[in-house]
A = this chain, B = another copy of it.
Amino acid sequence: MSYIAEIKVMPHKELLDPQGKAVLGGLSNLGLAGVADVRVGKNITLQIDADSAAAAEAIAREAAQQLLANPVMEYFEVRCEKA
């Protein structure tokens, strides 16, 4: 069966996010008021063939740990659903 796993990789909340600060500056230059903070991260969508949703989520978690997220600077969240 085919599953879609969404992996959200974001910079740790304690760390400064220069890319987010740049976006915040850009938004205020565009005159868009009201935005207090910006964090920029990655979103990776995996299409996984697995027997169950749990197995698909395990594969996605393994992928995030081994390749997609740098645990020193980033945390990740995995959501998995049927394709």
Contact = CB atoms under 8 A, between A and B. Distances in A.
Instruction: State the oligomeric state as a number of copies.
Output: 2
Main secondary structure of the interface of A (DSSP, over half): strand
Contacts of A26: 67
Interface string A16-50: 00001001001100101011111111111111111
B59 A23 contact: no
Contact of A32 (B27, B37, B66): B66
Contact of A45 (B2, B38, B56, B59): B38
Given A23-B67, A34-B59, A62-B32, A40 B39 contact: no
Interface of A: 2, 8-10, 20, 23, 26-27, 30, 32, 34-50, 55-56, 59, 62-63, 66-68
